[in-house]
Each structure stands twice: as structure tokens, then as C-alpha cells.
Amino acid sequence: MGAAAEYVAREYGRPCETREVAVVLVAAAAPVQVLPNDPNRMAWIVWNLGAGAAQVGPTSAVGALFGSNVAAAGGMVGASVREDGELPSRVLWGFSTVGTTLYILETVAL
């Protein structure tokens, strides 16, 4: 186990792993589930890799006017149990008016 993994294990009180996923959001389509519910997820970070802005949020009502904005071309937003309680463990939805790709890292307790 490397130093970063040891630190994360101490921080959360148990071993964890980091998973990655890329999700394409089609322009002005319905909101997309970008992360499923996972009671063992301790944190996530979302980067916007595309040229269009995106919104993410804990409900399928996320849209152009509702959600946390993830700015185009490298904008990011994150959540952790330390800062946000159980929010990171819930379903995460995404939406983009013009379309974009989200890159997500999630930390999950083993």
C-alpha cells in the first residue's frame, strides 16, 4: 500500500479504492445518472473535459437552472463525507445544454 492509500485509509478509518468513469452528456437531452447510489462511496470529484458547461446534482431534476455548475474546459466540483455528510453516497445526475464529457473519480470504502 502506498503512502496516499495509507493516508486515505486513516482519513476514512478503513481501506478505500479509487474508481474512475467518463460519462458523455448529450446536448439538451434528459438528465443522465452519472454515479449510482453506493453507500460505501466516501467522496467524488467531477471534472468537465468538454467545451460546454454542465450541471450535476442529487436528483433527476438537475437541469440548466438547477444543480452545481461544472464550468467548461476543466471546471470541477466535488463532495466528501467529511464536508457533505451522506451526499457522496447518493445517486449523482448530470445535464448539459450543449453536451460535454465528465470525468469522475470516486473514493469507495472496501
| Average pLDDT estimate for 51-80 | 95
Give the Cα separation of 34 and 56 in Å (integer). Answer: 9
pLDDT band at 29 (very low <50, low <70, confident <90, very high): confident
Given a cut of 80, whether residue 13 has pLDDT beyond it is yes
Report the CATH number of the 16-109 domain.
Answer: 2.60.120.10
Domain-wise residue ranges, the chain: 16-109
Region for residue 95 given its phi and psi (left: phi exceeds 0; alpha: psi -120 to 50; beta: otherwise) = beta
pTM, 2 dp: 0.92
